[in-house]
């Protein structure tokens, strides 16, 4: 990978930030980043095992011009004859997309600017945690959106139309649907923030996130011979993944729950993998159903993905998948 920080030899690929985790860093001033979203369609993505190279000269606002292993960063992408590289690389908190030098922006004449479409994934959160997730006057949910860039939508249920006295008597163990909308990176960030919040609220060293997916897509989620489940579990094998035997019905649609549970310290990579798989499934379903103007899971206005989440119009059929613990 070239360490040249000038325009020569580089093709700038994106004008929106990519998120990633540093997997190694050499004290001489270079290292490798694992992107947190699929980049398979980009030139050079097949090289270096999908890793993105980064040189200290491409760091911005990093003390000492050194990254640390497992540090989360945001960056713009370029490609050269040795694969993908990161430039304008900062910590997640410090990345400033409003102040990127124009000479480092992608040139549409060389390569189409990447504008990743928004994706919708859904999670299930128990009633007992919904109030804390929202926060006083919506402060917490606003913070989640601002810091992640994702939209967080807690779906109103029938009980919301009841009086406050009636709502106080609802079952705290029942769950509410929460739709999350954003890019792959934004979704990874917001899900990890929610997992951390739930873990702290329950005063546990373990974290749990319950994803929802249409019953017809459970096979895609599992993958061939359980390949996707193995990715979510990770090499440490400390994460448990459970797919519900019976679907839950949300707005007339059969959804299976996918529970990812394990030590809080090991959950981040599991969440990254799960989100990446769900985003890919979303895109495949969107491609399959983009000719259907009505129905599908995708929001109150019909169509898959038009308004986000599992809405009120129609739904996909599906096979019945049994309880699976991996």
Query: For every one of its 326 residues, what pLDDT tens digit does the chain have, with 9 covering 90 and above?
Result: 433 334 457 888 876 788 889 999 998 999 999 988 777 667 677 788 889 999 999 998 888 899 999 998 989 888 888 889 999 899 887 776 666 665 555 544 444 444 566 788 999 999 999 999 999 989 999 999 888 888 999 987 544 444 444 444 445 668 899 999 988 888 989 999 999 999 999 999 999 999 999 999 999 999 999 999 999 998 888 999 999 988 988 878 899 999 999 999 899 899 999 998 998 888 777 766 544 443 334 333 333 333 445 544 333 333 333 445 55
User: Do 55 and 156 fall into the same domain?
Assistant: no
| Whole-structure pTM value | 0.58
User: Do 178 and 84 fall into the same domain?
Assistant: no
User: Do 144 and 86 fall into the same domain?
Assistant: no
Spatial distance between the Cα atoms of 228 and 220, rounded to a whole number of angstroms:
8
- Per-residue H/E/C for 222-267: HCHHHHHHHHHHCCCCCCEEEECCCCEEECCEEEEEEEEEEEHHHH
104, 127, 143 - which closes a domain: 104
- The pLDDT value recorded for residue 82 is 85
Return the CATH number at 193. 3.30.310.210
| 4 inside domain | no
Instruction: Mark out the alpha helices in the chain (DSSP H runs).
Output: 127-134, 139-148, 164-168, 184-201, 218-222, 227-233, 267-289
Q: How many domains does the chain fold into?
A: 2
User: Do 187 and 267 fall into the same domain?
Assistant: yes
| 6 inside domain | no
User: Do 131 and 191 fall into the same domain?
Assistant: yes
| 2 inside domain | no
104, 132, 157 - which closes a domain: 104
User: Do 176 and 60 fall into the same domain?
Assistant: no
Return the CATH number at 65. 2.40.50.140
Query: Which of 240, 234, 289, 231 lies closest to 262, judged by CA?
Result: 240
48, 77, 104 - which closes a domain: 104
| 5 inside domain | no
User: Do 45 and 124 fall into the same domain?
Assistant: no
Q: What are phi and psi of 22, to 5 degrees?
A: -70, 125
- The pLDDT value recorded for residue 190 is 92
- The pLDDT value recorded for residue 296 is 38
| DSSP for 131-146, written as a single string | HHHH-GGGHHHHHHHH
User: Do 202 and 313 fall into the same domain?
Assistant: yes
User: Do 77 and 125 fall into the same domain?
Assistant: no
User: Do 81 and 184 fall into the same domain?
Assistant: no
74 is in which domain, residue-wise? 11-104
- The pLDDT value recorded for residue 104 is 58
- The pLDDT value recorded for residue 24 is 95
| 113 inside domain | no
């Amino acid at each position: 990978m070239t360490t040249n920080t000038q325009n020569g030899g580089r093709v700038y690929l994106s004008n929106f930030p990519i998120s990633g985790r540093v997997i190694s860093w050499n004290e001489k001033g270079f290292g490798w980043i694992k992107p947190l979203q699929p980049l398979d369609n980009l030139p050079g993505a097949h090289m270096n095992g999908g890793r993105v190279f980064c040189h200290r000269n491409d760091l911005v606002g990093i003390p000492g011009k050194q990254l640390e292993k497992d540090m989360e960063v945001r960056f713009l992408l370029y490609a050269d004859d040795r694969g993908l590289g990161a430039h304008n690389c900062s910590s997640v908190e410090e990345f400033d997309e409003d102040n990127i030098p124009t000479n480092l922006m992608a040139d549409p004449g060389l390569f189409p600017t990447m504008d990743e479409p928004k994706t919708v994934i859904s999670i299930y959160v128990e009633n007992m945690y919904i109030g804390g997730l929202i926060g006083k006057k919506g402060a917490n949910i606003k913070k989640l959106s601002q810091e992640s860039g994702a939209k967080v939508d807690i779906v109103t249920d029938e009980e919301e139309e009841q009086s406050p006295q009636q709502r106080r008597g609802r079952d705290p163990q029942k769950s509410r649907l929460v739709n999350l909308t954003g890019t792959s990176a934004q979704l990874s960030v917001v899900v990890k923030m929610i997992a951390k919040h739930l873990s702290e609220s329950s005063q546990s060293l373990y974290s749990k996130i319950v994803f929802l997916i249409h019953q017809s897509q459970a096979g895609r989620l599992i993958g061939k011979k359980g390949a996707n489940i193995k990715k979510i579990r990770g090499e440490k094998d400390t994460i448990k993944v459970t797919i519900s035997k019976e679907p839950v019905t949300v707005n007339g649609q059969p959804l299976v729950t996918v529970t990812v549970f394990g030590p809080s310290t090991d959950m981040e990579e599991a969440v990254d993998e799960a989100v990446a798989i769900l985003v890919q499934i979303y895109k495949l379903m969107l491609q399959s159903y983009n000719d259907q103007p009505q129905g599908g899971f995708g929001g109150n206005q019909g169509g898959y993905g038009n308004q986000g989440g599992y809405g009120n119009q129609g739904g996909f059929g599906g096979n019945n998948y049994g309880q699976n613990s991996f």
